[in-house]
């Protein structure tokens, strides 16, 4: 390993987290399964207690080199003080919010966040005495109009789920930091490769690593990368909550991490090709993709992001959701299911109007979220074209 890490992300993806004491010379650190760590002498046990939080094996809940390597690699890629790994993206979100909030605090949350994140606010944080106000993700610096005396954190997703608006994170962060509030960003869509949320003002950058970092649709994982202001809070809270991930899943994430760059470039290329083709398709009303000029926040995406990934939505020109079986049921190359970020293409009909409260969603037909995988792009277009034609016959 080099003495000094390169500042190029592609090199970091290959080299970060591969400390000799963790890998013992093999390329990736092995899967360390551990609960009990044995100490030879009483003196060693006492020494172990002192060093428990300093990256020495102590007890399984404090992690093993497999987890530490992933945390180290992510922190390096994000330019974070440190990162923590969790059993799912939602666990990373919940732990991050609980790290910075306390009873009586007020939270501002973008209206476009992933639906279970909203539910966390409404069902759990409220019970703890933390009130949430939802806001239009395009609010920018005007977020200050929503500040209350007890506003302590702002949570955004960039871009938002289902409708892909790109919030102005630097403007929101500047305002929030003016009142000493924390800024948390769900950065799952872009990954650290295409958007550095910490550099753009977030205090914690959160990833459902279940998606592109694992990248093969076979493990659940979350990661939160924190700056110097929040890392201590995140570490203490996550440990107190008993949050970590199993070493097998961390290993799969570390494996996925190494090929993130090449996979994302292909997702990007395929998705952009299909999005531009769909924009001109007569059955389509709108394509919601941050890299298209029509997407709200496209200018912010151009300014702050270095790429786009495989997830975007289409709005159909007409028709009713109850007839979407005509679109979905005979697809040849697209699967249908929740999640995204694996190597395979997926469709998922969704209804933003059922979820949002601070903004209203209006569209002439149903919305379908697409995840564009690594397949041949002509196969995918043919499949979508046939599906759109089948659906058009329903109205
Ligand atoms: C944007 C976003 N954030 C967070 C999550 C939650 O991740 P997980 O399913 O790993 O809990 C998801 C899952 O779909 C997501 O799409």
Which of the four pLDDT bands, split at 50, 70 and 90, describes residue 234?
Answer: very high
User: What confidence score (pLDDT) does residue 53 get?
Assistant: 86
* Token duo for residue 113: 């966040």
Average pLDDT, the chain: 97
- Does the predicted TM-score (pTM) go above 0.85? yes
| Whether pLDDT at 350 is above 80 | yes
- Do 306 and 314 contact (CB within 8 A), yes or no? no
Q: What does the alpha-carbon distance between residue 128 and residue 240 come to, in Å, rounded to a whole number?
A: 17
Nearest of 72, 348, 300, 98 to residue 190 by alpha carbon: 300
Predicted local distance difference test score (pLDDT) of residue 3: 84
Binding-site residues, ligand 1, Cβ < 6 A: 88-90, 114, 157, 161, 186, 188, 208, 210, 220, 222, 339
Structure token digits, residue 267:
């997702």
Active site residue 61: yes
Residues 62-84: tens digit of each pLDDT: 999 999 999 999 999 999 999 99
pLDDT digits (tens, 9 = 90+) for 236-287: 999 999 999 999 999 999 999 999 999 999 999 999 999 999 999 999 999 9
Q: CA-to-CA distance for 212 and 77, rounded, in angstroms?
A: 15
Whole-number Å distance between alpha carbons of 27 and 14: 10
Q: Using pLDDT thresholds of 50, 70 and 90, give the confidence band for residue 2.
A: confident
Query: Is 354 an active-site residue?
Result: no
Q: What is the pLDDT of residue 71?
A: 98
Give the mean model confidence (pLDDT) for residues 342-368.
97
Reported confidence tier of residue 55, pLDDT bands at 50, 70, 90: confident
Q: Report CA(390)–ligand 1 centroid distance (Å).
A: 31
- Catalytic, 51? Answer no
Q: How far apart are CA 205 and CA 192, in angstroms?
A: 9
Distance CA 112, CA 131 (A): 17
Residue 1 has pLDDT above 80, yes or no: no
pLDDT at 54 over 90: no
What is the percent of the chain with per-residue pLDDT over 70, rounded to a whole number? 100
Q: How far is the CA of 358 from the centre of ligand 1 (A)?
A: 21
- pLDDT(374) > 90: yes
**Ligand 1 centroid to 361 CA: how many Å?**
21
**pLDDT given for residue 370 in this prediction:** 98
| Residue 350: strand pairing partners | 367
Considering only CA atoms, which residue is closest to atom 12 of ligand 1? 208
CA of 89 to the centre of ligand 1 (A): 5
pLDDT at 125: 98
Residue of the nearest CA to atom 8 in ligand 1? Answer: 89
């Amino acid at each position: 390993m080099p003495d000094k890490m390169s500042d190029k992300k592609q090199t970091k993806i290959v080299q970060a987290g591969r400390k000799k004491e963790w890998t013992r010379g093999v390329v990736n650190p092995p899967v360390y399964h551990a609960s009990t760590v044995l100490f030879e002498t009483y003196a060693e046990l006492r020494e172990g207690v002192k060093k428990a939080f300093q990256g020495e094996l102590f007890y399984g809940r404090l992690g093993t080199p497999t987890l530490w390597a992933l945390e180290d690699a992510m922190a390096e890629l994000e330019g974070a003080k440190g990162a923590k790994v969790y059993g799912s993206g939602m666990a990373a979100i919940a732990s991050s919010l609980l790290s910075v909030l306390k009873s009586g605090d007020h939270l501002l949350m973008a209206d476009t966040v992933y639906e279970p994140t909203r539910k966390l606010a409404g069902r759990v944080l409220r019970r703890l005495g933390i009130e949430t106000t939802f806001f239009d993700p395009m609010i920018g610096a005007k977020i200050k109009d929503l500040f209350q005396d007890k506003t302590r954190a702002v949570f955004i997703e960039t871009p938002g789920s289902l409708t892909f608006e790109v919030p102005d994170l630097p403007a929101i962060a500047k305002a929030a930091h003016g009142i000493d509030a924390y800024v948390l960003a769900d950065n799952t869509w872009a990954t650290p490769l295409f958007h550095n949320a910490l550099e753009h003002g977030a205090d914690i950058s959160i990833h459902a690593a279940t998606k592109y970092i694992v990248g093969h649709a076979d493990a659940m994982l979350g990661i939160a990368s924190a700056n110097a202001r929040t890392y201590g809070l995140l570490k203490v809270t996550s440990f107190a909550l008993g949050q970590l991930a199993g070493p097998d899943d961390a290993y799969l994430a570390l494996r996925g991490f190494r090929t993130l760059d090449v996979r994302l470039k292909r997702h990007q290329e395929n998705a952009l090709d299909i999005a531009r083709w769909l924009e001109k398709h007569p059955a389509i009303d709108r394509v919601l993709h941050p890299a298209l000029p029509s997407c709200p926040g496209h200018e912010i995406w151009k300014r702050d992001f270095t790429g786009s990934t495989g997830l975007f939505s289409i709005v159909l020109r007409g028709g009713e959701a109850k007839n979407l079986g005509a679109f979905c049921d005979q697809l040849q190359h697209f699967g249908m299911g929740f999640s995204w970020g694996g190597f395979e293409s997926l469709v998922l009909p969704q209804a933003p109007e059922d979820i949002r409260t601070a903004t209203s969603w209006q569209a002439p037909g149903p919305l379908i979220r697409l995840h564009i995988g690594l397949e041949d792009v002509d196969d995918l277009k043919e499949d979508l074209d046939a599906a759109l034609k089948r659906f058009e016959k329903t109205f």
